[in-house]
Structure 1
Amino acid sequence: MSESDELRRRVETLEARVDAVHDQMSQTHAMVAINDRDVADLKLEMRAHRQTMQALRETQLEHVREMREGFAEMRTGFATLAAGLQVLADRLPEEPAA
């Protein structure tokens, strides 16, 4: 094989390798773009979940506050009722001892 034939063969081999590397780079670039979109979608979804959780937290805090206020009103009402019952009990005649 002559020197020019050897050189031609080597150049063809290198060109084939460069084409293969170019194809791999194109595939890698496409995969990176897909992954980038997926990550962006996940970030958007996580932001929506975070906002939902924050809204749920606010709602639960409001419900707890309302519940505590309701219990405080009930305790006040029960105390008033107990005081009123005691007044009535004090007015009842005492039962004779048997």
Structure 2
Amino acid sequence: MATLEEIEARLAAVEQQLQAVRQDAAAARVLAGAADRDVSEFRQALNAHTTTLNALRETQVEHQQETRDGFARVNVGMAEITRLLNRLAEPESGE
């Protein structure tokens, strides 16, 4: 059987180990809190980027439609010019 001195020595060693474990746990909590803040900051940045990209996409879609409308007007105008030029090139009837 262990003597009282051996038990006291073992108890002292366990108490030292317990103190080290408590310090490690406290340090782990600090690291976990920092990691949580980092993830939160990254999430906010990602949301901001996503919002910006969505706004850019919307603007590009609007510009694309404006471009299509503009080309459609140009095509109508060119068709009218072509029609008028063709009329000028036709020989006049009655000559």
TM range (shorter): over 0.9
Normalising by structure 2, we get a TM-score of 0.92
**1:91 shift after superposition:** 4.0
Normalising by structure 1, we get a TM-score of 0.89
Question: Aligned partner of 1:55: which letter?
Answer: A
2:72 is equivalent to residue 79 of structure 1: no
3-state SS in 2 of match to 1:52: helix
**1:4 shift after superposition:** 1.1
Aligned partners of 1:32 and 1:52: how far apart in 2?
30
Moved beyond 6 Å, runs of 4+:
none
Report how many aligned residue pairs link the two structures.
91
Question: Aligned partner of 1:7: which letter?
Answer: I
Q: Aligned residues: percent identity?
A: 33
Unaligned runs of 5+ in 2: none
Aligned partners of 1:35 and 1:91: how far apart in 2?
85
3-state SS in 2 of match to 1:8: helix
CA displacement 1:29-71 (0-9 Å, x = unmatched): 0000000000000110011001000000000000000000001
Aligned partners of 1:81 and 1:17: how far apart in 2?
94
| Aligned-residue CA RMSD (Å) | 1.2
